[in-house]
Chains A and B, each alone.
Chain A
Amino acid sequence: MKTKLLKYDYRKETRDLQGRFPHPSHVRWTIQEDTKLIGPDGAIIAILLCNVIPPNLHKLAYELWRSVDSLPSNRATAVGSPSLPKLKRDGSLSKRQGVLRNTLKALKAQGAAQGAIGYLGSSDQRLHKTPLTRKHSEMLTGNKQLILLVDELYKKHLSTFYANQKAVIEKTPQWQLWQTVFSTIYIAKNFRTAYHRDGRNLPGMSALMPMGKFTGGELVLPRWRIAFAFKPGDLLFFDSRQHLHGNLPFTGERLSAIYYCAGLIAKWRGK
């Protein structure tokens, strides 16, 4: 595996990029082989592992997950729209905010959809099995082997991060996906994201796995001027909570699965 030391940190210069779409000019290096990226402070920024997911597993996952159909109405920043108050039927403004009708229409026209499998937090600050998991349990159980493999790769390549995450999630085994360090898998379908952070994840690494037949769609980390040109079978570990990230445009059908641990788990003080 190659190790690349990132000498420049463009944190200040990327402050205003949140909610904007990635542009090829934001990228200086494109990574497309097994690489470990190290930041100027010596910390691991990301690890790209190529061809580590056997085709039978990622193809099965693609078939099981491609039916997700919710519009990303709750992810304004990732959509690239400001979070606006919803309009009530009588034309007045609601207290609830999110992505509004015209933007959702545009997303639908692009075939964008999302879904979450496993456990998610709700307004009462508790985690619940997601409606998608309750309705289509095969989306979770059918991919058990894949989820265990991703967990195994996390443990092998990022043992310290893994141990920290394990220590937190083991306190709430009811929200653990089997014995892994993940509580949730977020599926994004044909969703070209603007720069955003996944603020509800537990600090640590998330695993990102693309699926489908597509070209383009590189994941950009503007703070390091890096893009990952990954393909089905590859797996990328990075801290999606800390690092602003978004996608370059793509053609074809593209699914991406993000394996993570919900941040609410760390706050849980119940029985």
Chain B
Amino acid sequence: MKRTDESTTPATLDDQIAKLDAQIFESLAGRRKASIDAGLALIEQRKLLGHGKWLAHFKEVLAPNGLKLRTAQRWMKRARKAKSDLRNVSVAHSESGTDSGAQAIKNAATQDEASVRAAAGPKEPRKAARPYSLPLHLTEEEQEAMDALQKSAVWSQAEKKVVRLLRNFCIEQGVMKNARRNS
């Protein structure tokens, strides 16, 4: 290890030690994560092959490359635990504070939301746009395809896409304002 230079101030020495600590901790956590990932892969493999075949595969492929069965079993156990921990956390996080203070705030916030909704009134339905014909010069094949597209289930989707494309082109050409940017 590098000898501490006499001119090194205590603060920089502390910083160096802290940096090395961080490096060691990162490696430790990385090692743990790697073993969980490997454990998950082993579980998946065993599920695909079935226990008997998996053991044969393990002996043939993994064991000769330095992985002991005991280690693989430990990794699988760790992966199962990590998976179940995650499930428990998700369940726990679906809870939210239910004490009287939290409940009072939640109730008041619900009342406020209702008053805002009432003040906003019912949403005005968007005015239906009238059909608009474009003088497009299409080949016969293109016209047939257009007819088929209009009769298909994806027409509404296609229509939206075409309108969006035309809007963007109009904005680009300066014949239409970009309403989104203005708002």
Q: Is the CB of A92 within 8 A of B119?
A: yes
Q: Is A263 positioned at the interface, with any CB of B under 8 Å from its CB?
A: no
**Size category of the binding interface on chain A:** 35 or more
A106 to chain B: closest CB distance in Å? 4
For the complex, give the distance between the alpha carbons of A42 and B112 in Å: 44
Min CB gap A25→B, angstroms: 4
Q: Is the CB of B93 within 8 A of A103?
A: no
User: Which of A21, A38, A41, A92: most chain B CB closer than 10 A?
Assistant: A21
Contact with A along B80-112 (1 / 0, CB 8 A): 001001100110110111110110111111011
Q: Closest CB-CB distance, A239 to chain B, in whole Å?
A: 15
**Size of chain B's interface in residues, with CB distance under 8 A?**
42
Interface assignment of B15: CB less than 8 Å from any CB of chain A: yes
Interface contact B119-A80, CB-CB below 8 Å: no
Please indicate the chain B residues that have their CB under 8 angstroms from the CB of A54 in the complex.
none
State in angstroms the CA–CA spacing of A5 and B33 once bound together: 13
Question: Is the Cβ of A160 less than 8 Å from the Cβ of B18?
Answer: yes
Known A13-B90, A102-B111; contact A42-B32, beta-carbon cutoff 8 A: no
Interface membership of B11, Cβ < 8 A: yes
A residues near B23, Cβ cutoff 8 Å: 42
Most chain A CB inside 10 Å of its own CB: which residue of B18, B85, B101, B106: B101
Interface pair B104/A23, CB less than 8 Å apart: no
Q: Is A129 an interface residue (CB 8 A)?
A: no
- Chain B contacts for A38, CB-based, 8 A: 21-22, 25
Contact with B along A138-177 (1 / 0, CB 8 A): 0000000000000000000001100000000000000000
Q: Is the CB of A159 within 8 A of B119?
A: no
Given A13-B89, A100-B115, answer yes or no on A81-B108 (Cβ-Cβ < 8 Å).
yes
B26 contacts the other chain (CB 8 A): yes
Evaluate whether A87 and B116 lie within 8 angstroms (CB atoms) in the complex, with A40-B26, A42-B22, A42-B23 already known: yes
**In the complex, chain A residues whose CB is within 8 Å of the CB of B108:** 81, 102-103, 105-106
CB-CB contacts of A174-203 with B at 8 A, as 1s and 0s?
000000000000000000101000000000
Find B105's partner among A22, A23, A26, A107 (CB 8 Å cutoff).
A107
Q: Is A233's beta carbon under 8 Å from chain B?
A: no
CA distance A192 to B89 in the complex (A): 23
Do the beta carbons of A106 and B92 come within 8 Å of each other? no
- Chain A, Cβ-Cβ closest to B23: A42
- The residues in A between 34 and 59 inclusive whose CB is less than 8 angstroms from any CB of B are 38-44
**How many angstroms from the CA of A38 to the CA of B21 in the assembled complex?**
10
Nearest A residue to B111 by beta-carbon distance? A102
Knowing A13-B93, A14-B93, A160-B15, the reply to whether A5 touches B29 (Cβ < 8 A) is yes
B112 nearest in chain A by CB position:
A100
Q: Is A84 an interface residue (CB 8 A)?
A: yes
User: With A42-B29, A81-B108, A102-B108 known to touch, is A87 a contact of B14 (CB < 8 Å)?
Assistant: no
Interface status of B28 (Cβ within 8 A of chain A): yes
Question: 13 A-B pairs, CB-CB below 8 angstroms?
Answer: A8-B85, A21-B102, A25-B92, A26-B92, A42-B26, A85-B116, A100-B115, A102-B111, A103-B108, A103-B112, A110-B104, A159-B14, A249-B101
